[in-house]
Structure 1
Amino acid sequence: MTAEELRLQKPLEGKSKWKKWGPYVSDRQWGTVREDYSADGKPWDYLTHDMARSKAYRWGEDGIAGISDNEQLLCFSVCFWNKKDPIIKERLFGLGGNEGNHGEDVKELYYYLDSTPTHSYMKMLYKYPQSEFPYSKLVEENRKRDKLQPEYELMDTGIFDEDKYFDIFVEYAKATEEDLLIKITIHNRGDEDAALHVLPQLWFRNTWSWGYNNYKPHLTSCDSGNVLVDHQALGHLTLHLEKAAPLLFCENETNTKRLYGVDNKTSLLKDGINEFLVNGNKKAVSSNADTTKVAVNYEVVVKGKESTTIRLRLSADNKQPFEDFESIFKTRIDEADEFYASVQNDVVSEEDKMIQRQAYAGMLWSKQFYYYDVDEWLKGDPAQPPPSPARLKGRNHEWKHLNNANIISMPDKWEYPWYAAWDLAFHCIPISLIDPHFAKGQLLLLTKDWYMHPNGQFPAYEWLFSDVNPPVHAWATWRVYKNDEKQHNGKGDTAFLQAVYHRLLINFTWWVNRKDAEGNNIFEGGFLGLDNIGVFDRSAPLPSGGTIEQADGTSWMAMYSLNMMRIALELSRTNPVYQDMASKFFEHFLYIAGAMASMGDKNSGLWDDEDNFYYDTLKMKNDGSVKLKVRSMVGLIPLFAVEVIDHQLLEEAPEFAKRLKWFLNNRPDLASLVSRWQDKNEGEKHLLSLLRGHRMKKILERVLDENEFLSEYGVRSLSKVYEKHPYEFELNGTFFNIHYSPGESPIGMFGGNSNWRGPIWMPVNFLIIESIKRFHSYYGDDFRIECPKGSGEYMSLAEVAEYLSKRLSKLFLKDENGRRPFNGADDKLQRDPNFCNYILFYEHFHGDNGRGVGASHQTGWTGSIANLLQPKKDLFASTNEEIKASEPLDLQSK
């Protein structure tokens, strides 16, 4: 085992603190629901970027390249000032949801480049202009633009055109579990010498101002010029400075005078460092105070085309902290390389290795300490002014039980610095390949009583915990279980599987009771994470007062049923009682299949024989109904409800097999709806799917049609046919339409920064590929389909899955012109050696040219590309015999 793998084993033995320190500081704490104490529930207005430097946060901290302990008691980050900006660069700048023409949007350039799972080594890059940062220009230009125009980005300002900027690499290496080495390397990419203040900052999260615990920790200086840390939970630590520099002490306390016109109780405040440097207020800091925040003021001049390095060490007192500094760094870097060499053992291409490793780095850097006690948040704090009484009936008031204080994988620590249930499930798949223990812990976390609602619902996200994400938790649990099993020589963690399964039973019941309004096994679902994909806002009451019988909601539940059945069969291998549960979910799946076939417009089902596609059905108040004939991702989701079972497994579960036989004999109407369940293939396998072979083939014909769903870079979320022929729908004299929009959203629904009307989304593409491969494991190489449609070339389903995977990989790989599609048309991003090999993992991608759209660091689910970059022999089996049918398709399995 590699050194990193050995470290990863220690938490299992209860002996390790290697993960106690990590990148747990958010990229943005301002503008979040947690920090919003307004009467009107408008977080973007209550605490803005401009206010953030002066207000002590209640629930967390933010910073650039920030790290902290796992309770975020003590934080470290790096701050800069180029002597021209109106404020010091203490946190990443971006537009709030009310400012951007497509919603919130970070306006910085930064890249997460490397990290081991234990954070024994980490590296990131921040690009800082030498000219004045164009704060006003970014705000004003985006304000001018409407939703039909793209976002105005930092690169568009031209501030990097003459290379007058700093590349600042921040690296961390751990000597031991709680001995942190910090290296900050500043490269001047310009020709001329340039001055810069580099300000490593150390501070305590404010835990003393709210009226619960008055204990206040201390930061002080010592004769050697180092910073002494004293905290009752962390003990005594020292921030060692290799080069002496002025220390600027202040407090992590709100500047009430600046923000609210109320006199301050002290002159040392959170924004003291900014006041001292930018505004020359010498009273705003102290050189030797006993406080809660400090910055080391390194004033450097970096020569043109050269670099300088600053080294620090945070540890218990060390008499010679820099003697072994470089050797430790080298060891940790070598160990990181060794670890990823093992992970990427069969990856041949250096390009693939680089992209995959940056994908893993982004996922690991996107961990965050997430703290939110909803009951305390609703009531307000004893030592603070009481919030508006309206708050008690406002946002999230139904979630008073929710009390979160954990390290959680975030979708994007700037744009989405809060967990989302279905994002988290997708994150765990690639993470499980490098740290299965953390992935399992994340999936378990959402099932705990202090997360899961007493009624069984999983919290969606902090803007509205009661919203509904697709139920993919069971799928992710099974996938993580299988990945973990392979890494432990075929020994599965059944205790983990069982623990999650029991809680999923409660969640499944919530779905059945709350989202199946009429008890007919057709699910309304609502939002389901697909934002503006529908004719109507699916989170809001419909204009007609009716309901939408959703093809996607119903298909997700069919998939959920199969996932639960498969987990139960696995658990039944050691406890036969689970055979009954497997039968229950098998029957539930069949009832859903029956409902999809009989419900909808004039009882014709959600399938449309004329178009050979699944559509939502609008059910009116007067019992009338009409199909909403939009060819979108909604109609592809039935592909996901597929499972292949080895006949031997049925022989190992006789009670389950007996019940199946009885049910299929007595309900032939339902048995005939699902694909080939009673027919074994040559490999002794059974197929369970919503789609018989004809329907599956017809849907795939749409998927593989470049005039519809198939893009050069993956599968679009909406058929391109609506580019020239928008879908129109009339209801009570009002006309609605859906137009193909491959890039930024042209409408304001959900803030306008999400778009399922054309772009390519990695998570659903991932599921499409996985589902196609499962179909192949049953149908084999003899089932062939034209790919792409009209090409005259026919492929097996395994080859189709590989073909789609390669198209998705093109988003990040250099094309024949040396350009990476996700970088768009910007020549500097594409050509400059200091830009072109740094990868951003966007929220989604332009449906025609592959340009990155939306959140730029959403590594969580876009990081699934790490799985797809595995070589063919690992990604797909070439014959049926190579896939054990008792396992689901695993994109890492041979």
Structure 2
Amino acid sequence: MPAGRREWRLPPAAAGRRGYLYNPVHSWEYFPHDHARERAYRWGEDGILGITDRECRLCLCLGLWNGKDPILKERLFGLTGPQGNHGEDCKENYYYLDSSPTHSYMKGLYKYPQDAYPYERLEQEARERSVLDREFELEDAGVFNEGKYWDVFAEYAKNTPNDVLCRITAVNRGPETATIHVLPQLWFRNTWIWGCSHEGCTIKPKLRSQKDGKVYLHHDSLGTMYFVCDKDPEGKEPKKIFTENETNMKHMYGVETYTKYVRDAFHRYVVNGEEDAVDPRQRGTKVAPHYILEVPAGEERSVRVRFFTEEEDPKEYFGKAFDAVFDLRIKETDEFYDSIIDSRASKDERSMARQSYAGLLWSKQFYHYVMKSWLHGDDTQPNPPESRLGGRNTDWMHLFNRDVVSMPDKWEYPWYASWDLAFHMIPFARVDPDFAKEQLILFLREWYMSPSGQIPAYEFNFSDVNPPVHAWAVFRVFKMTGKRGSRDRVFLGRCFQKLMLNFTWWVNRKDPDGKNIFSGGFLGLDNIGVFDRSRPLPTGGHLEQADGTAWVAFFCVVMLDIALELALEDSTYEDMASKFFEHFVSIIDAMNHMAGGGGLWDENDGFYYDVLRTDHCTVPLRIRSMVGLIPLFASLSLEEEVIEKLPGFKKRLDWFMKYRTDLSSHVNYMTNPETSRGRHLLGIPSRKNLKRVLSYVLDENEFLSPYGIRSISKYHEDNPFIFNVEEEEYRVKYVPGESNTYLFGGNSNWRGPIWLCVNYLLIEALERYDFFYGETLKVECPTGSGNMLRLQDCAKEISSRIVKLFVPDENGRRPCHGDNDLYKDDPHFKDLVLFYEYFHGDNGRGLGASHQTGWTAVVTACLDKQVKG
């Protein structure tokens, strides 16, 4: 592409970012599904298995109609937070099957019923179900019975970065010949109507048909491009239909606009038969060839389209050359994953890993949010309500997000969450290390990070406090993306400087008494506690959090590790290493005091608890939960051979160990039998306390599920924690599946299910402890079995249990799909894998968002640990 333009490197169009209001209920009401086909989007775009350039200027997505639906299928349907009996819930069956890191090849699948889509029934069933009932899914409506559905595959291949090929294949899985309408829709995002100055183009782009059959496109920043479409399988030219990507003002608001050719024109033309809905002049800002395919039972038909820059006009648009590009890109993608996924993994494990990576790559999205514009409105538009200026995020006026970002889930969470993103970068580092580093740096830049040093949490409230895992992700990516001696130290140094600001923010804002005991609110664990930890306590007083304190300890020890790494080549970092060493030891000391005497350790139970402190009492909240396991994450083994290379740090360490005996007792020492040199272990629990906590972790009647570590001990199933405040009872019970409370929206449950993010941190922690203790420390795994294992073997056991979630068992069922017979018996479902937000604590059934190949993609790292041993 000519100088100054951006290449077509980035994938899927946004899946649902239409508008924002700050009350979660109102945000769903603000832009419902029924409005999406009629209203031009302000901040992003939305479509089924689509792609866009890196600034979301030009988009290509599927449009489908089965002849029976009341609407043209252009975007995914789901229940809003208030509609779903467990919060927002996508009611579609779609799958990310493949993607190369550069998106030179991508493949996705959408399963489209041949009968009318059951919109009303899905809403009705959710209304009639309570929080105690399971969700009613699309397959429960019987729409896939007898194979009466279409498998619609969308594939993209790049001949060059700016010559993009698309092949859409519709497969009739039903018993009879059926007809499907396929519309590959190409359109410009509307950047011209709002009057905003920060878009790449405020001049309306052009799109028109030419006599030679090509569609001419011109965009002020993309330049001139062409869109071509192949004949249908019967050899006929499809009719190309055109409209403008403009809101249907007359229907929505009763207001006339400059054109009658508006956003919902294709729906009205195809479904309602309104011939005059589309522009007969064949021009506008949106175009689609209209293919009508009649497909016999069990057969398939494909359509092909292509767009390219003026400079890269190929000699042959379709035919053998088109197919050859796909064949080459598929071959290259296969070869790439053969080098990434361990050959010792089984066929099912390799397939699972590849789909996981595909979901991760498909879930990159153009994310656009300019705080000042949102709060004050656009110059040419009506002013927003005054109430917006008093809502959330008003203290984030610096925030200017206009980047490609890794999303947790393209439908349910089409916005970033900073701690989610940190986990995404672990598997991303395997497939696209440059992108992983760029993303981690991005969230530390001035247009994301607050001047105070806080990293934005997530869209609904940037000021909420997520666990500080960014430093961990930075250091892990640093080590994963190069061999020792050739790693990207510039990346590490850049991040360290900004992470210092973030660490200072934590110390200043979340340790108000200066006691090294931290309270960060809900800290991403949503409803895990007895109280809503983001609100004032009903008892008065304050909560000292075991997880909040442990997260900061984890942050601190990772910063120590980074400082030591940087100090090996730059001695100015030795002072920072000393600072983080002493701060970490102080946090260890604070945590390990008895819970009634200023600390968070309960000697009677052998566990870490949150502690409620009021003017009248000090009460440990004795809930055995992930809150008490997070202290295990913070540990580091210091090698004497490294310390000896750092004379400034060594001098301070020796002084500290000699003269601060009140604190130095928390630092364990052991001689490495292989080198005869010593190691220092920094960790929150002592060896004795570590074993006591692990006896709970590895107990199958407590935390150890067949599929990983539960977020709350199963002990609380029959022994709920109960806390009474005056006339009101607060209760925490083990809930293995969907949430039974609407705290935090009701669609996020930390009261029992398995979450892969914290499981992965625990696995790594066990490996670090094993590095120090080695053969000298073995524990029963499972507890009570008499089977004594080293901690590294316990980590491998947990990894293996997690991998089991996604591979067929002896009966052909993948636990993540629960008792759904389609995924067991239907040959066109059985090889597909969904990567849920979290998993049932007893049977492994997937729960929450169904495409969370963000942090759930760390299953690929668990697979590596399992097969490598």
TM-score, normalised via structure 1 length = 0.93
Shift of 1:18: 9.7
For residue 814 of structure 2, what is the aligned residue in structure 1? Answer: 820
Q: What amino acid is aligned across from residue 405 of structure 1 in structure 2?
A: R
Cα contact 2:342–2:867 (8 A) shared by 1: no
For residue 496 of structure 1, what is the aligned residue in structure 2? Answer: 491
* Structure 1 residues 86 and 873, CA gap change in structure 2 (3 angstroms): closer
Shift of 1:623: 5.3
* More deviation, 278-287/90-99: 278-287
For residue 234 of structure 2, what is the aligned residue in structure 1? Answer: none
Which runs of structure 2 are paired with 1:424-435 in the superposition (5 Å)? 424-435=421-432
Shift of 1:653: 0.8
Shift of 1:38: 8.6
Cα contact 1:478–1:497 (8 A) shared by 2: yes
* More deviation, 210-219/301-310: 210-219
* More deviation, 658-667/73-82: 658-667
Cα deviation 1:780-800 (Å, max 9, x = unaligned): 123111110121111111111
Counterpart CA distance in 1 for 2:21 and 2:134 is: 33
- List alignment gaps of at least 5 residues for structure 2: 232-236
Shift of 1:41: 7.9
Matched, 1:594 2:589: yes
Cα contact 2:594–2:603 (8 A) shared by 1: no
Shift of 1:254: 0.8
Matched, 1:20 2:8: yes
* Structure 1 residues 503 and 38, CA gap change in structure 2 (3 angstroms): closer
* Structure 1 residues 595 and 17, CA gap change in structure 2 (3 angstroms): farther
Shift of 1:872: 4.7
The aligned length equals 854
Cα contact 1:421–1:458 (8 A) shared by 2: yes
* Structure 1 residues 163 and 872, CA gap change in structure 2 (3 angstroms): closer
For residue 108 of structure 2, what is the aligned residue in structure 1? Answer: 124
Counterpart CA distance in 2 for 1:40 and 1:84 is: 33
Q: What amino acid is aligned across from residue 127 of structure 1 in structure 2?
A: K
Matched, 1:384 2:384: no
Matched, 1:266 2:259: yes
Shift of 1:257: 2.2
* Other structure's SS at 1:192 match: coil
Q: Percent identity?
A: 52
Cα deviation 1:490-523 (Å, max 9, x = unaligned): 4010000000000000000000011112111100
Counterpart CA distance in 2 for 1:508 and 1:680 is: 32
For residue 408 of structure 1, what is the aligned residue in structure 2? Answer: 405
Cα contact 1:632–1:719 (8 A) shared by 2: yes
Matched, 1:113 2:97: yes
Counterpart CA distance in 1 for 2:478 and 2:281 is: 53
* Other structure's SS at 1:460 match: coil
Cα contact 2:112–2:151 (8 A) shared by 1: yes
Cα contact 2:5–2:222 (8 A) shared by 1: no
Counterpart CA distance in 2 for 1:716 and 1:465 is: 28
Cα contact 2:5–2:221 (8 A) shared by 1: no
* Structure 1 residues 524 and 348, CA gap change in structure 2 (3 angstroms): closer
Which runs of structure 2 are paired with 1:55-454 in the superposition (5 Å)? 55-212=39-196, 214-243=202-231, 244-316=237-309, 317-323=313-319, 324-454=321-451
Matched, 1:547 2:531: no
* Structure 1 residues 742 and 38, CA gap change in structure 2 (3 angstroms): closer
Counterpart CA distance in 2 for 1:872 and 1:284 is: 57
Shift of 1:598: 3.3
Counterpart CA distance in 1 for 2:23 and 2:858 is: 40
Q: What amino acid is aligned across from residue 506 of structure 2 in structure 1?
A: W
Shift of 1:98: 1.3
Shift of 1:281: 2.2
For residue 697 of structure 1, what is the aligned residue in structure 2? Answer: 691
Q: Runs of 4+ in structure 1 displaced over 4 angstroms?
A: 14-19, 37-41, 677-683
Counterpart CA distance in 1 for 2:671 and 2:509 is: 35
Aligned match for 2:826, one of 828, 832, 836: 832
Cα contact 1:22–1:119 (8 A) shared by 2: yes
Matched, 1:646 2:639: yes
For residue 667 of structure 1, what is the aligned residue in structure 2? Answer: 660
Aligned match for 1:870, one of 838, 851, 864: 864
Q: What amino acid is aligned across from residue 838 of structure 1 in structure 2?
A: L
Q: What amino acid is aligned across from residue 670 of structure 1 in structure 2?
A: L
TM-score, normalised via structure 2 length = 0.96
Shift of 1:667: 1.5
* Structure 1 residues 41 and 344, CA gap change in structure 2 (3 angstroms): closer
Counterpart CA distance in 2 for 1:678 and 1:307 is: 66
Shift of 1:475: 0.5
Counterpart CA distance in 2 for 1:290 and 1:635 is: 62
Aligned match for 2:500, one of 505, 526, 542: 505
* More deviation, 313-322/623-632: 313-322
Cα contact 1:247–1:287 (8 A) shared by 2: no
Counterpart CA distance in 1 for 2:862 and 2:27 is: 38
Which runs of structure 2 are paired with 1:570-589 in the superposition (5 Å)? 570-589=565-584
* Structure 1 residues 19 and 516, CA gap change in structure 2 (3 angstroms): farther
For residue 558 of structure 2, what is the aligned residue in structure 1? Answer: 563
Counterpart CA distance in 2 for 1:252 and 1:38 is: 27
For residue 3 of structure 1, what is the aligned residue in structure 2? Answer: none
For residue 741 of structure 2, what is the aligned residue in structure 1? Answer: 747
Counterpart CA distance in 2 for 1:115 and 1:599 is: 52
For residue 885 of structure 1, what is the aligned residue in structure 2? Answer: none
* Other structure's SS at 2:283 match: coil
* Other structure's SS at 2:562 match: helix
For residue 8 of structure 1, what is the aligned residue in structure 2? Answer: none
For residue 528 of structure 1, what is the aligned residue in structure 2? Answer: 523
* Other structure's SS at 1:779 match: helix
* Other structure's SS at 2:776 match: coil
Cα contact 2:6–2:54 (8 A) shared by 1: no
For residue 882 of structure 1, what is the aligned residue in structure 2? Answer: none
* More deviation, 135-144/489-498: 489-498
Shift of 1:543: 1.1
Cα contact 2:8–2:162 (8 A) shared by 1: yes
Q: What amino acid is aligned across from residue 292 of structure 2 in structure 1?
A: E
Q: What amino acid is aligned across from residue 232 of structure 1 in structure 2?
A: D
Cα contact 1:346–1:870 (8 A) shared by 2: no
Q: What amino acid is aligned across from residue 646 of structure 1 in structure 2?
A: E
Shift of 1:779: 0.7
* Structure 1 residues 869 and 376, CA gap change in structure 2 (3 angstroms): same
Shift of 1:682: 5.6
Shift of 1:873: 6.5
Aligned match for 1:804, one of 792, 798, 804: 798
Counterpart CA distance in 2 for 1:21 and 1:227 is: 22
Cα contact 1:246–1:287 (8 A) shared by 2: no
Counterpart CA distance in 2 for 1:27 and 1:416 is: 9
Counterpart CA distance in 2 for 1:329 and 1:438 is: 24
Aligned match for 1:637, one of 630, 639, 643: 630
* More deviation, 865-874/547-556: 865-874
Cα contact 1:217–1:230 (8 A) shared by 2: yes
- List alignment gaps of at least 5 residues for structure 1: 1-10, 877-894
* Other structure's SS at 1:432 match: helix
Aligned match for 1:607, one of 582, 601, 605: 601
Cα deviation 1:528-565 (Å, max 9, x = unaligned): 00010000011111112321100001001111111000
* Other structure's SS at 2:765 match: helix
Q: State the superposition RMSD in angstroms.
A: 1.8
Q: What amino acid is aligned across from residue 332 of structure 1 in structure 2?
A: R
Shift of 1:227: 1.9
For residue 655 of structure 1, what is the aligned residue in structure 2? Answer: 648
Counterpart CA distance in 2 for 1:121 and 1:855 is: 26
